[in-house]
Amino acid sequence: MLRGALTGGQRRSATVASLGMAQTLAWASSYYLPAMLATAMARDLGISTPTVFLGFSLALVVSALLGPLAGQLIDRHGGQPVLAANSFVFAAGLAGLAFAQGPVGMFVAWAILGVAMAAGLYEAAFATLVHLYGKNARSAITGITLLAGFASTVGWPLTAWLELEWGWRTACMVWATLHLVLALPLNLLLPRAALPGAHAEPTAPTATPKAAEDSPSASSTRTAVLLAVLFAITWFISTAMAAHLPRLLQVHGVPLATALLFAGLVGPAQVAGRLLEYGLLRNIHPLVSARVAGGMHTLGAVVFMLAGVPAGALFTVLHGAGNGVLTIAKGTLPLVLFGVKDYGARQGLLMVPARFAQALSPWLFGLAIDRFGAGALWFSAALGGLGLVALLLLRGPPGPDRGH
């Protein structure tokens, strides 16, 4: 009754709000969970803290392997039933962590959470929105990333408080319960069917006149490889900074208190970048805004390495803003470059290298800091430059389509 009384714009806003809040809960209870609970879990289970993070890496690997299947399910059935069912998988994985009595139980629980992450994080949400709104999904994708951008802001203090007051097992059970009493109803509120005419536009990949001599399969493969490289680099840098940013700032001479202050600017900068994408950049082709964002980490890193401590804040702000826009680009670029058809399955495949890069990133970048100290930042700067090259090599569609 209420849904029928709402206008199309109001229904769309309600969908974005429901999915955005569910995404906030999903990220807070998975991706951002081990940072707050790993030490307590390791102590209680009689294992090392790196072993807990190894379990998290297992979840990321499982997520990478099952991501294409999750995308196919959304292509076939829509996002609402997949995301709603996945709320139970999240709850099962978190409950499994809460009841784990040793490393085997912990690894099994993380593997279950990996299944949930494959069908419950941004890639699944983006595919859900594309299934509903077709090529007009850009603003909706931006909207959910704006809301879910606060996942760490909400998740870290809440998890830390729960662990301090009642222990890590209770913290996991609270998150499991929230998936059933909050995320499940929010996902059930999502529309089941695509909007009329949402998929009326051509869905085949469009080649530019310059690429007309290429076969469609060769052009599509080239585009897919470039996108996969871009996403892998983006996720590697994002995860490396999330795991090591305060330490990285300190090895560059930034005092601990100041390093924490600078690192705290990343979250607001990400949201600011997404607001910029939602406002000023929404009438610009997503490839253009992605290219601007793609150079921000490298620019900030180079200035920081040359100018020293005073430029630390500029580095973290540029990194955060660029990462915020590139998060949206992970959803919009495949849409404008390939179209709507088979979006979910394609998105899952494109993100497989990114998930593996994400799983290895904390370990590899930690080794780089141990070996090269402040020089490790040159590594991420070079990677960011490589990602920008991939963006520059991508060919946008020839028409006036802006992907929104």
For residue 315, pLDDT beyond 60: yes
The domain defined by 8-188 carries CATH number 1.20.1250.20: yes
Per domain, the residue ranges of the chain are 8-188, 209-393
Choose the weakest-confidence range: 71-80, 81-90, 113-122, 203-212: 203-212
For 21-48, give the DSSP string.
Answer: HHHHHHHHTTTTSHHHHHHHHHHHHTS-
What's residue 199's pLDDT? 46
- Residue 397, pLDDT score: 57
Alpha carbons within 13 angstroms on the beta-carbon side of residue 235 total 23
Q: What is the amino acid identity at position 91?
A: A
pLDDT tens for each residue of 70-107:
888 988 888 889 999 999 999 999 999 999 999 999 99
Length of the chain: 404
Round to whole Å and give the CA distance between 177 and 194: 30
**Which residue's entry shows tokens 């203090």?**
157
Distance between CA atoms of residues 303 and 309, nearest Å: 10
pLDDT of residue 136: 81
CA dist list (Å): 274 to 192, 325, 327, 350, 389: 27, 5, 9, 22, 22
pLDDT of residue 208: 40
User: Which region holds residue 167: left if phi is over 0, alpha if psi is between -120 and 50, else beta?
Assistant: left
**Angle formed by the axes of helices 34-45 and 151-166, to 10°?**
30
What would the pLDDT profile of 252-261 be if each residue is shown by its tens digit?
888 888 887 8
Indicate whether 364 pLDDT > 80. Answer: yes
- Is the separation of the CB atoms in 158 and 168 below 8 Å? no
Averaged pLDDT, 187-200:
63
DSSP 191: -
Largest interatomic CA distance in the chain: 65
The pLDDT of residue 13: 84
398 pLDDT more than 60: no
Q: What share of the chain is helix, strand, coil (3-state, %, to 5)?
A: 80, 0, 20
At 396 the pLDDT is 63
pLDDT tops 80 at residue 20: yes
Same fold, 8-188 and 209-393: yes
d(CA 143, CA 171): 28
- Residue 85's closest CA among 184, 213, 167, 158? 184
In terms of Cα–Cα distance, which of 29, 27, 16, 138 is closest to 79? 16
Phi, psi dihedral angles at 149 (to 5 degrees): -60, -15
DSSP 8-state class, residue 183: I
Q: What is the mean pLDDT of the chain?
A: 83
Domain 209-393 fold is: Growth Hormone; Chain: A; (1.20.1250)
Query: Is 327 within 8 Å of 122 (Cβ atoms)?
Result: yes
The pLDDT of residue 197: 41
- Mean local confidence (pLDDT), 359-371: 83
Say what the pLDDT of residue 210 is: 41
Q: Residues 269, 313: contact at Cβ < 8 Å?
A: no
pLDDT at 196: 42
- Average confidence (pLDDT) over 51-69: 88
Band of the pLDDT at 211, cuts 50, 70, 90?
A: very low
Give me the pLDDT at residue 209, please.
Answer: 39
Which range, 87-101, 141-155, 388-402, has the best average confidence (pLDDT)? 87-101
**Residue 70 and residue 147 in contact, taking contact as beta carbons nearer than 8 Å:** no
271-282 tens-digit pLDDT: 888 887 776 666
Buried b (16+ CB within 10 A) or exposed e, 377-386: bebbbebbbe
pLDDT at 26: 94
Tell me how far apart the alpha carbons of residues 211 and 202 are, in angstroms, rounded to a whole number.
18
Q: Amino acid identity, residue 164?
A: L
Decide: 162 and 170 in contact? Cβ < 8 Å: yes
- Label residue 399 by pLDDT band (50, 70, 90): very low
Give the per-residue pLDDT at 332. 83
Residue 5 has pLDDT above 60, yes or no: no
Any long-range contacts for 90-96 (C-beta under 8 Å, 24+ apart)? 90/26, 90/29, 90/30, 90/116, 90/120, 90/176, 90/179, 90/183, 91/176, 91/177, 91/179, 91/180, 92/116, 92/176, 93/176, 94/29, 94/172, 94/173, 94/175, 94/176, 94/179, 95/172, 95/173, 95/176
Other CB atoms within 10 A of residue 224 CB: 17
